[in-house]
């Protein structure tokens, strides 16, 4: 402020100084003094205007120049509508593909937590040190130790998402809602202030089971209570317990999960009363690991410092509680790392799609860069003139870059439109569930920012080199004649490289697309390894209606018995997880007997499911040995069924049936293998075979179970009689996720898979089209520059065919070298992709399909302009210029 | 002043004015009034500057670092702002000068396509 004032005064003084000097000079020249001053003022011009103009210089020189550049650039672009259109469209495709992929990546992986300063928040917890596939979780006891012993954090909060039975009146049927159990400090640590009411008090975080209070999620509050503020103080039934509403979360806090918004938040001290199984002691058992911890780092503390501290605490816990904490390493991870660890397939998918999208954008940039380079000679005259009359080279480069930026911004804006189309398309991904699970694929400001950053980056990428080249013009030559500057070998070399790279990238895009398409087709054709038809599923959560474990077991037992007697049911079984399902597949740690682990490893984590009697028949999974029987009970010896993959790995060339493994660790209970089931697809339709183990659910009690019924006819027709059968057992038992497996399989495996193939395919096609435009442009440009030469050749008797060959030769060489490089890169890409499918060597067919097809298209792209060039009328060609 | 003379005066391009300022300062520091008159006289009154337009140009050059401004005391003990050429400005001027030379040369060659070689 003071500086500005001084500057203003200084300018004022400067102008007064001028007037006085001029007046004095005029008087000395003999002017009368009154006229002298007048003449001085006239000579200066309006002092106000002078000041105004000078002030403008202070602040706005760069802005003014930018404006000049923009105006000039716009004029230049408007002068060449063809060029502008191709450039903008190319970029729109490239950027649009990225916008759409980024919005998917954001929804699956990248979007920050909706909390205050999310970058300070990290994930804390324990992982199984041996296993690769392990979630970062913690028990309440471990959480308390981390919270009280660490000094790196401003606060550590823990939470657990769970399903609850929700009702407003005692006589109403409970509805299934997703809620979150949180530690009392959750809202404080996350920097979230309730929109209404208050958050939890410290005393509500102390006595187990005493304070039945809850905070409503904003969305739930709006939908269920019409955003009525008088909801504060209301009593709601959660899991049959009366809770008092004390607050409402703000709209921007959508919960800690990306996939759903919690209906309500209840204090962790109420957890013991909300668990389905009274034997569970969530606040006491150190191995009841169902919590997720998020901590806010103190200012200046790095993740690795926090990691060191937490790891040390974890080591102490391992020593102090070997029974529960042996081999559980404590870790600190950033939110992104935690999310990747939570779902590696999502991260792989995202990485692959983003890479493909970037490849498309690179092809687009190469296109525009090529177009700009070919425009360079035509602009050389203009540039040379401007250089000559004193424009700085830097300034000209900036001018040219501004032009590129204009193209890029226009491309970016149009690209957002393309991206929005992509987003609409991706939103078709559905997760079949009764719960309000959402994948928030949005075109929000983050996507906007990302797209614009990409636009600017591509402007520099495709604009800088041509700009530098253009301004390196030979002044005299350029001014003398428009075409005097024959393109130097270097300039064409750069363009050739661009086009070859385009062909190479598009070949990789196409091979990847074809490979994935064929891979998925192969997978879908082979099927998941079990029967998907004639199956109806319905899920139960007996805990929702306050069954204790014994009651729940009895209910489930009766449920299957009754279901088997329903007419139309061929067989029925219970299972915890359904194959290809969204959740329910947990890892367990096992130590197979007689297997020599590599050094430093003493157990292994495998995926597991808990199933009931005749499960394998009902689900249609072929097996040897026996499935689980009614004689496998809570008290009988522990048994398990392993899949072929696991049997082959740990008991190679032996019969796994009769072998044993220890559960949890080297001192865990023995479990005997009684059967070997065929390896099927467990998580996703694609993917390498996974080791898997089944346990009888009676020996591993789970809160929720799904009833699987095999029908003789249409499985959907079983829904009504089965519901009746359930309600005959318990009229209040909630039933959810009732659907046929066919429908589920279609959503889960077929449609999502097809969607991904279509997305990848669309990017492949875009890449190829862009590359063809590039090649076409290059050959047309090169031929155009040789018009006179071609004319002479034809005039002195060259055959049109040989001219055609001559012109095409360049494009052909480029296409071939691009194909060669692309082929090598494709082999690399295939290696990466093979992990996703059960790879059996190189997929020759893909190369046989894609290589020649691309070659044909590239030849066509070169042929059209070459043919036009060979048809040139020699008279016209020679008279030209 | 006659209209005839008025017409023969060339309106100055911004870039040219900048260069003329730099050239003037080549002879040593000067204040605004002196610069204005030096330019006017130096071009024998052909290049007419509305003296006010000098000030934005001066400030722009300061901003670009080609000249520097310093408060000083003038010959008759008056406070005045003196402008002087910086090293960068000196370099810029040399570069611009050679560009001018090249331009005139280039224009010359266009006007007379047969250059020195052609006369041989």
Closest Cα in chain B to A475: B106
Q: Using 50, 70 and 90 to split pLDDT, how confident is the model at A278?
A: low
- CA A348 – CA A340 distance, rounded (Å): 9
- Give the residue from B35, B56, B61 with the most A CB atoms within 10 Å of its CB, the best one to mutate: B56
Do A123 and A294 contact (CB within 8 A), yes or no?
A: yes
How buried is residue A823: exposed, middle or buried, by Cβ count under 10 Å (0-12/13-18/19+)?
middle
- CA B63 – CA A617 distance, rounded (Å): 84
Do A345 and A752 contact (CB within 8 A), yes or no?
A: no
Q: Put the strands of the sheet holding B30-31 in their side by side order.
A: B30-31, B79-85, B67-73
B116 has a pLDDT exceeding 50: no
Q: Using 50, 70 and 90 to split pLDDT, how confident is the model at B120?
A: very low
Biggest CA–CA distance in chain B, Å, is 63
Q: Using 50, 70 and 90 to split pLDDT, how confident is the model at A185?
A: very high
Q: How close is the nearest chain A Cα to the Cα of B1, in Å?
A: 13
Contact flag A389-B52 (C-beta cutoff 8 Å)? no
Do A177 and A166 contact (CB within 8 A), yes or no?
A: yes
- CA A252 – CA A333 distance, rounded (Å): 24
At residue A253, the 3 state secondary structure works out as coil
Least confident of A757-766, A872-881, B64-73: A872-881
> Which of A71-85, A300-314, A420-434 reaches the highest mean pLDDT?
A300-314
> Which of A407-416, A483-492, A791-800 reaches the highest mean pLDDT?
A407-416
Other C-beta atoms closer than 10 Å to the C-beta of A2 total 6
Question: What would the two tokens of residue A704 be?
Answer: 């929720």
- CA A546 – CA A542 distance, rounded (Å): 7
Taking contacts as CB-CB distances below 8 angstroms, the residues of chain A near B15 are 389-391
Contact flag A54-B59 (C-beta cutoff 8 Å)? yes
pLDDT in tens, A16-62: 888 888 888 888 888 888 888 888 888 887 787 788 777 777 765 56
> What was the pLDDT predicted at A389?
66
A877 has a pLDDT exceeding 80: no
How buried is residue A303: exposed, middle or buried, by Cβ count under 10 Å (0-12/13-18/19+)?
middle
- CA A45 – CA B37 distance, rounded (Å): 15
Contact flag B60-A57 (C-beta cutoff 8 Å)? yes
Contact flag A475-B53 (C-beta cutoff 8 Å)? no
> What was the pLDDT predicted at B6?
37
A219 has a pLDDT exceeding 70: yes
Report yes or no: B70 at the A interface, CB cutoff 8 Å.
no
Phi, psi of A439 (to 5 degrees): -110, 105
- A227, HSE (Cβ side, Cα atoms, 13 Å): 6
Interface of A with B (CB under 8 A): 10-11, 13-15, 17-18, 21-22, 43-47, 49-50, 53-54, 56-58, 61, 387-391, 475-476, 479-480
Least confident of A379-388, A476-485, A648-657, A700-709: A476-485
Contact flag B63-A47 (C-beta cutoff 8 Å)? no
pLDDT in tens, A808-852: 887 788 888 888 988 888 888 877 777 666 555 567 777 888 888
C-alpha gyration radius of chain B: 18
The larger pLDDT score, comparing residue A63 to residue A333, is at A333
Residue A264 pairs with which residues in a beta bridge?
A216
How buried is residue A484: exposed, middle or buried, by Cβ count under 10 Å (0-12/13-18/19+)?
middle
Q: Using 50, 70 and 90 to split pLDDT, how confident is the model at B7?
A: very low
Contact flag B55-A13 (C-beta cutoff 8 Å)? no
- CA B94 – CA B86 distance, rounded (Å): 13
> What was the pLDDT predicted at A268?
94
Report yes or no: B46 at the A interface, CB cutoff 8 Å.
no
Cα distance from N-terminal residue to C-terminal residue, chain B: 49
- Mean pLDDT, residues A171-185: 86
Query: In this complex, how many residue pairs, one in chain A and one in chain B, have their CB atoms less than 8 Å apart?
Result: 82
A113 has a pLDDT exceeding 80: yes
- CA A764 – CA A699 distance, rounded (Å): 50
Nearest to B52 among A21, A44, A58 (CB): A44
DSSP A748: I
Q: How close is the nearest chain A Cα to the Cα of B54, in Å?
A: 9
Do A215 and A265 contact (CB within 8 A), yes or no?
A: yes
Token pair 């991206």 is found at A419
B12 has a pLDDT exceeding 80: no
Token pair 């959560």 is found at A541
The larger pLDDT score, comparing residue A863 to residue A296, is at A296
Taking contacts as CB-CB distances below 8 angstroms, the residues of chain A near B102 are 388, 475-476
- For chain A, what is the mean pLDDT? 85
> What was the pLDDT predicted at A722?
92
Pairing type for strands A235-238 and B67-73 reads: unpaired
C-alpha gyration radius of chain A: 36
Nearest to A480 among B19, B52, B110 (CB): B110
- CA A447 – CA A454 distance, rounded (Å): 10
- CA A540 – CA A735 distance, rounded (Å): 6
Q: Please enumerate in sequence order all residues whose Cβ is within 8 A of that of A496, keeping only pairs 6 or more positions apart, or say none.
A: A778, A810, A814
> What was the pLDDT predicted at B24?
86
Express as a percent the part of chain A with pLDDT over 90: 33
Contact flag A17-B96 (C-beta cutoff 8 Å)? no
Token pair 């830097």 is found at A394
Token pair 């009034």 is found at B33
Q: How close is the nearest chain B Cα to the Cα of A31, in Å?
A: 16
pLDDT in tens, A666-712: 888 999 999 999 999 888 777 778 899 999 998 887 778 899 999 99
Nearest of A277, A239, A261 to residue A556 by alpha carbon = A277
> What was the pLDDT predicted at B118?
38
Least confident of A170-184, A619-633, A839-853: A839-853
Q: Please enumerate in sequence order all residues whose Cβ is within 8 A of that of B11, keeping only pairs 6 or more positions apart, or say none.
A: B48
**Helix A81-105 and helix A752-785, axial crossing angle in degrees, nearest 10:** 160
> What was the pLDDT predicted at A570?
93
- Mean pLDDT, residues A162-173: 83
Question: What would the two tokens of residue B94 be?
Answer: 């040399």
Contact flag B32-A18 (C-beta cutoff 8 Å)? yes
Q: Using 50, 70 and 90 to split pLDDT, how confident is the model at A625?
A: very high
Q: Using 50, 70 and 90 to split pLDDT, how confident is the model at A247?
A: very high
**For the stretch A787-811, what's the b/e string if a residue is b when 16 or more beta carbons lie within 10 angstroms of its beta carbon?**
bbebbebbeeeeeeeebbebbbebb
> What was the pLDDT predicted at A614?
92
- CA B72 – CA A10 distance, rounded (Å): 12
H helices present in chain B, as ranges: 3-8, 14-25, 32-42, 54-63, 87-111, 116-119
Q: Using 50, 70 and 90 to split pLDDT, how confident is the model at A64?
A: low
Nearest of A72, A102, A809, A814 to residue A445 by alpha carbon = A102
> Which of A312-316, A496-500, A729-733, B80-84 reaches the highest mean pLDDT?
A312-316
Q: Using 50, 70 and 90 to split pLDDT, how confident is the model at A476?
A: low
């Amino acid at each position: 402020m003071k500086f500005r004032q001084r500057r203003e005064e200084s300018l004022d003084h400067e102008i007064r100084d001028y007037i006085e000097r001029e007046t004095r000079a005029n008087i000395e020249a003999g002017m009368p003094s009154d006229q002298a001053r007048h003449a001085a003022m006239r000579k200066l011009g309006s002092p106000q205007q002078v000041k105004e103009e000078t002030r403008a210089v202070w602040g706005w020189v760069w802005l003014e120049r930018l404006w000049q550049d923009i105006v000039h650039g716009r004029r230049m672009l408007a002068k060449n509508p063809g060029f502008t259109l191709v450039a903008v469209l190319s970029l729109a495709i490239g950027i649009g593909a990225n916008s759409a992929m980024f919005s998917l990546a954001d929804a699956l992986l990248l979007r920050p937590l909706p909390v205050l300063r999310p970058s300070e928040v990290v994930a804390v917890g324990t992982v199984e040190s041996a296993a690769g596939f392990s979630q970062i979780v913690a028990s309440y006891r471990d959480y308390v130790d981390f919270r009280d012993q660490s000094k790196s954090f401003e606060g550590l909060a823990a939470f657990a998402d769970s399903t609850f039975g929700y009702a407003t009146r005692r006589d109403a049927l409970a509805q299934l809602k997703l809620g979150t159990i949180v530690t009392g400090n959750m809202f404080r640590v996350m920097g979230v202030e309730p929109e209404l009411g208050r958050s939890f008090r410290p005393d509500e975080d102390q006595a187990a089971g005493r304070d039945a209070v809850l905070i409503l999620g904003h969305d739930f509050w709006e939908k269920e209570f019409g955003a009525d503020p008088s909801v504060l103080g209301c009593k709601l039934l959660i899991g049959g317990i009366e809770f008092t509403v004390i607050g409402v979360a703000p709209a921007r806090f959508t919960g800690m999960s990306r996939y759903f918004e919690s209906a309500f938040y209840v204090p962790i001290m109420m957890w013991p009363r909300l668990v389905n199984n009274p034997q569970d002691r969530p606040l006491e058992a150190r191995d009841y690991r169902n919590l997720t911890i998020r901590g806010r780092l103190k200012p200046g503390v790095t993740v690795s410092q926090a990691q060191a501290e937490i790891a040390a605490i974890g080591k102490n816990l391992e020593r102090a509680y070997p029974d529960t904490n042996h081999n559980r390493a404590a870790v600190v991870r950033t939110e992104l790392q935690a999310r990747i660890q939570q779902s590696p397939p999502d991260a792989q998918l995202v990485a692959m799609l983003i890479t493909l999208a970037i490849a498309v954008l690179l092809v687009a940039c190469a296109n525009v860069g090529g177009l700009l380079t070919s425009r360079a000679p035509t602009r050389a005259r203009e540039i040379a003139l401007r250089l000559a009359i004193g424009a700085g080279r830097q300034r000209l480069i900036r001018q040219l870059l501004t032009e590129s930026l204009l193209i890029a911004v226009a491309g970016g804006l149009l690209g957002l439109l393309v991206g929005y189309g992509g987003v609409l398309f991706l939103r078709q991904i559905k997760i079949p569930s009764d719960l309000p699970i959402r994948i928030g694929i949005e075109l929000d400001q983050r996507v906007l920012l990302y797209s614009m950053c990409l636009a600017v980056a591509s402007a520099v990428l495709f604009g800088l080199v041509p700009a530098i080249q253009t301004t390196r013009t030979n002044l005299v030559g350029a001014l003398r004649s428009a075409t005097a500057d024959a393109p130097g070998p270097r300039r064409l070399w750069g363009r050739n490289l661009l086009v070859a790279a385009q062909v190479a990238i598009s070949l990789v895009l196409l091979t990847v697309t074809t490979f994935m398409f064929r891979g998925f087709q192969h997978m879908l054709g082979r099927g998941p390894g079990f029967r998907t038809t004639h199956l109806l599923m319905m899920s139960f959560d007996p805990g929702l209606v306050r069954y204790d474990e014994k009651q729940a077991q009895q209910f489930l037992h009766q449920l299957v018995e009754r279901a088997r007697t329903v007419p139309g049911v061929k067989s029925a079984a219970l299972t915890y997880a359904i194959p290809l399902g969204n959740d329910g597949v947990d890892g367990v740690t096992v130590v197979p007997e007689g297997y020599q682990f590599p050094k430093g490893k003493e157990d292994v984590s495998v995926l597991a499911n808990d199933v009931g009697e005749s499960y394998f028949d009902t689900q249609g999974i072929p097996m040897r040995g026996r499935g689980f029987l009614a004689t496998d009970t809570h008290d009988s010896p522990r048994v398990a069924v392993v899949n072929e993959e696991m049997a082959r790995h740990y008991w190679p060339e032996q019969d796994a049936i009769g072998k044993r493994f220890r559960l949890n660790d080297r001192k865990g209970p023995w479990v005997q293998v009684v059967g070997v089931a065929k390896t099927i697809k467990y998580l996703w339709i694609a993917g390498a075979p996974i080791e898997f183990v089944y346990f009888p659910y009676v020996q591993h009690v789970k809160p929720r179970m799904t009833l699987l019924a095999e029908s003789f006819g249409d499985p959907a027709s079983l829904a009504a009689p089965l519901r009746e059968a359930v309600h005959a057992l318990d009229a209040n038992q909630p039933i959810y996720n009732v659907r046929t497996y066919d429908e589920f399989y279609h959503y889960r495996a077929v449609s999502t898979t097809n969607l991904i193939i279509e997305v990848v395919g669309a990017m492949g096609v875009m890449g190829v089209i862009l590359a063809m435009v590039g090649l076409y442009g290059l050959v047309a440009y090169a031929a155009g520059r040789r018009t006179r030469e071609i004319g002479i050749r034809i005039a002195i008797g060259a055959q049109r065919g040989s001219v055609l060959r001559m012109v095409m030769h360049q494009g052909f060489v480029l296409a071939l070298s691009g194909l060669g490089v692309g082929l090598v890169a494709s082999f690399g890409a295939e290696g990466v992709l093979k992990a996703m499918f059960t790879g059996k060597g190189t997929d020759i067919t893909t190369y046989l399909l894609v290589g020649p097809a691309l070659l044909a298209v590239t030849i066509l792209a070169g042929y059209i302009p070459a043919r036009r060039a060979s048809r040139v009328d020699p008279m016209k060609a020679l008279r030209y210029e | 002043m006659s209209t005839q003379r008025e017409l023969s005066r060339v309106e100055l391009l911004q870039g040219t004015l900048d260069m003329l300022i730099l050239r003037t300062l080549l002879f040593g520091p000067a204040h605004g009034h002196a610069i204005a008159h030096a330019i006017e006289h130096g071009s024998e009154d052909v290049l007419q500057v509305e003296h006010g337009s000098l000030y934005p140009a001066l400030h722009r050059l300061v901003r670009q670092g080609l000249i520097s401004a310093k408060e000083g005391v003038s010959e008759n003990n008056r406070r005045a702002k003196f402008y002087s050429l910086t090293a960068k400005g000196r370099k810029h001027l040399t570069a611009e000068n050679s560009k001018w030379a090249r331009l005139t040369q280039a224009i010359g060659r266009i006007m007379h396509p047969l250059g020195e070689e052609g006369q041989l």
